[in-house]
């Protein structure tokens, strides 16, 4: 990831839910037109969190929340049934990231 990017309201909400599901403290930070999700582990420092564009953040979510992806030829399916069409994303990796984040956020909504 090269730096913060502008996220849609949907992506901000999705990212925030996934962070809460992973057990992070969560806050939004705004600077002019840029709003990002920041997380910290209890007692830790705040840091930007964007698993929709950062493979390392997505991998941590996948391992911590036990939502491995199942690759397909036209879609990626993450545990819990989150399906993300590859054709709706810029790359196969982007589809995989979004499926994992959606699965984590979906699980959080079910128990919240």
Q: In what order do the strands lie in the sheet with 82-85?
A: 69-71, 75-78, 82-85
Does any domain span residue 107? yes
**Using one digit for the tens of pLDDT, what is the confidence trace for 55-100?**
999 999 998 888 888 877 788 888 777 888 989 999 888 999 999 9
Calpha distance 68→41 (Å, rounded):
22
Q: Are 50 and 39 in contact (CB under 8 A)?
A: no
Task: Dig out the tokens for 30 from the structure.
Answer: 């705004």
> What pLDDT shows up at residue 42?
86
Residue 22: domain span = 9-111
pLDDT at 111: 47
Residue 82 falls inside a structural domain: yes
Backbone angles phi, psi at 63, to 5 degrees: -70, -50
For residue 2, tell me if it sits in a domain: no
23 to each of 14, 85, 86, 93, how far by Cα in Å? Answer: 15, 28, 28, 24
Integer Cα distance of 35 and 63 in angstroms:
27
Residue 52 belongs to some domain of the structure: yes
Number of domains present in the structure of the chain:
1
Closest by Cα among 19, 106, 3 to 57: 19
Q: Check residue 43 and give its pLDDT.
A: 87
Query: pLDDT of 11-65, one tens digit each?
Result: 999 999 999 999 999 999 998 888 999 999 988 999 999 999 999 999 999 988 8
Tokens at 35, concatenated: 């709003």
Asked whether residue 4 is assigned to any structural domain, the reply reads no
């Amino acid at each position: 990831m090269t730096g913060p990017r502008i996220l849609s309201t949907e992506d901000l909400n999705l990212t925030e839910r996934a962070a809460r599901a992973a057990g992070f403290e969560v806050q939004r930070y705004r600077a002019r037109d840029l709003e990002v999700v920041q997380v910290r582990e209890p007692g830790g420092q705040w840091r930007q969190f964007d698993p929709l564009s950062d493979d390392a953040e997505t991998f941590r979510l996948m391992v911590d929340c036990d939502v491995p992806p199942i690759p397909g030829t036209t879609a990626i399916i993450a545990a819990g049934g989150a399906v993300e069409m590859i054709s709706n994303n810029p790359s196969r990796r982007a589809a995989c990231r979004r499926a994992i984040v959606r699965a984590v956020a979906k699980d959080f909504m079910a128990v919240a």
